[in-house]
């Protein structure tokens, strides 16, 4: 049982650890939820409140070498976000085949992260064992959702991403006291200003998210709920 709990913990925090390049979790720019999405980040999508997409997330070091590659399924509905993650698809020297084998044996190689700021929590769901963990948002995250944040974009020029004409912007998310989050975004002018690429700094590394197969459809609300019959992990 002790070993099982250890692997549950690893699978829940693996995404954050890899995205941070093994930095301290408190210093990850997207920290505050189970797998790294927070209220400020969701504001980067502007007026787009509902969509589905595939996203490839990379961590790039200062020498432009890839440290981590992680494909995910992404769905958003209002302020809620769902990430479907298959750990077998992660590429990182810090995540070995032995790690994956142990997680797979325990039924923890696939996980779903559901960010619910309205519930002041993130649910980390494990379909393989029909269980979930609930991670409470830190106080600042809950406050940010309740008080509201504003997005400001400053154009840095025009570029093309996957054949789509985009405006490259410096995006700044602010509260009433000043900026709380910054990123570079490539907003596609032919896709409702959707940010096909997002780049953020984490210390010396760059976190890059590349969206594709974007569909402006409203995901089913039940995708952002804990499935019936799933038990909460102790």
Please state, in angstroms and rounded to a whole number, the distance separating the CA atoms of residues 16 and 29.
10
Rg (CA), the chain: 17
- Asked if residue 92 is part of any domain, the answer here is yes
Please state, in angstroms and rounded to a whole number, the distance separating the CA atoms of residues 181 and 31.
12
Query: pLDDT class for 142, splitting at 50, 70, 90?
Result: low
Task: Give the pLDDT score at 14.
Answer: 54
Poorest-pLDDT segment among 35-39, 40-44, 53-57: 35-39
- Asked if residue 189 is part of any domain, the answer here is no
- Asked if residue 96 is part of any domain, the answer here is yes
Query: pLDDT class for 31, splitting at 50, 70, 90?
Result: very low
Tokens read off for 234: 């102790």
Which residues have a Cβ under 8 Å from the Cβ of 5 and sit 6 or more positions away?
Answer: none
- Asked if residue 30 is part of any domain, the answer here is yes
Total domains in the chain come to: 1
- Asked if residue 228 is part of any domain, the answer here is no
| Residue range of the domain that includes 24 | 2-147+211-220
pLDDT at 222 > cutoff 90: yes
Q: Record the pTM.
A: 0.85
- Asked if residue 192 is part of any domain, the answer here is no
- Asked if residue 114 is part of any domain, the answer here is yes
pLDDT at 76 > cutoff 70: yes
- Asked if residue 202 is part of any domain, the answer here is no
CA distances from 71 to 35, 62, 74, 86, 172 (A): 13, 22, 10, 8, 26
pLDDT tens digits, 143-195? 666 567 889 999 999 999 999 999 999 999 988 788 888 999 999 999 999 99
pLDDT tens digits, 97-141? 887 888 888 888 898 989 998 898 889 899 999 999 888 887 766
């Amino acid at each position: 049982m002790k070993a099982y709990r250890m692997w549950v913990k690893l699978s829940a925090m693996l995404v954050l650890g890899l995205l941070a390049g093994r930095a301290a979790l408190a210093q990850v720019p997207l920290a505050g939820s189970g797998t790294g999405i927070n209220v400020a980040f969701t504001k980067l999508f502007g007026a787009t409140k509902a969509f589905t997409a595939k996203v490839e997330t990379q961590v790039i070091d200062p020498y432009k070498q890839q440290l981590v590659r992680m494909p995910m399924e992404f769905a958003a509905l209002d302020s809620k976000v769902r990430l479907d993650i298959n750990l077998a698809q992660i590429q990182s020297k810090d995540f070995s085949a032995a790690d994956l084998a142990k997680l797979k044996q325990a039924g923890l190689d696939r996980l779903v992260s559901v960010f619910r700021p309205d519930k002041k929590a993130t649910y980390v769901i494990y379909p393989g064992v029909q269980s979930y963990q609930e991670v409470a948002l830190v106080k600042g995250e809950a406050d940010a959702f309740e008080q509201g944040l504003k997005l400001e974009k400053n154009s840095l020029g025009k570029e093309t991403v996957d054949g789509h004409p985009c405006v490259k912007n410096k995006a700044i998310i602010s509260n009433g006291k000043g900026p709380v989050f910054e990123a570079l975004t490539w907003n596609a002018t032919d896709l409702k200003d959707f940010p096909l690429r997002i780049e953020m700094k984490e210390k010396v590394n760059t976190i890059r998210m590349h969206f594709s197969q974007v569909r402006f459809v409203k995901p089913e609300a039940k995708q952002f709920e804990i499935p019936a019959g799933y038990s909460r992990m102790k």
